[in-house]
Structure 1
């Protein structure tokens, strides 16, 4: 016969133990000090449980949503074959759809990673410095606050973007005084 409880240390086991302790505490409060004490204990346990759940499930919500927009690379790295497919589709028949939904977000992530890693500039938080580093001719293609200048990415523009991405790793950072307006 299988045991109903999971191994000690598992999430299910921990939740079972914590639930049992909480129910026992509320019952003991009720027996010792009455219904008012039990209700207060239940309310306190509920508030603590909700705070823990919010912290665990939505920890990144505590930074005003910036973490999501600055996330540099997705959870799964793309393999070379994935990139070949993305490029082929971006330059193929459904180029407009594929560029907007796949290639442009990937380029934005790559530029965001390179700008943050090498220059300490966050693409979403400091778009003026990012635009200065990327260059005025290429910035509209990756600007996260505006649409692309054209609905379709040409092979020449893609090559130029990738060349610029490569040169950003060796370029010197801009001085900080360019932030003032």
Structure 2
């Protein structure tokens, strides 16, 4: 009989074993409450145990994924979220006389972040961890401009390439 109970509970340290022990502890606590303090205390204890169990089950089940920031946010991009409000200035400077410097320092990293976010969100592909899959989705011609492992093919980005990159970003 003991052996059958041990097999049903699972190996020590497993989730099943832990839940079995926790269940036995809860039943013992309820019996002690009923014997010492009566039916009202046992009912109150059962209500409290039920509320805690539902809260834990909800948390473990992942229902708290959109929980108003109680959990740490997923660090998908590694930096601040790309904002589109400053894009006219960023594009103007990248296509201007000092475009190579601005493209390298500002526009290219922002394009990489935007593509990383879109690839992760829509395709489940991480830009830096799966560059071959990302290249296949983005396209080899445009990938050269945002490839995080190498530099761009030219120091400054032509306007036609920037338009193609932004069009591709929209279609992803």
User: TM-score when scaled to structure 2?
Assistant: 0.54
**Are 1:119 and 2:123 matched, yes or no?**
yes
Identify if the C-alpha distance between structure 1 residues 77 and 110 changes in structure 2 by more than 3 Å, giving closer, same or farther.
closer
- Structure 2 gaps, min length 5: 1-74
1:2-151 maps to which residues of 2 (within 5 A)? 71-72=76-77, 74-75=79-80, 77-80=82-85, 82-151=86-155
* Cα-to-partner distance string for 1:153-180 (whole Å, 9 max, x where unaligned): 0111000000000111xxxxxxxxxxxx
Give, in angstroms, the shift of residue 85 of structure 1.
0.6
Counterpart CA distance in 1 for 2:87 and 2:102 is 13
Alpha-carbon RMSD across the aligned residues, in angstroms, is 1.5
Detail structure 1 runs of 4+ shifted over 6 Å in the superposition. none
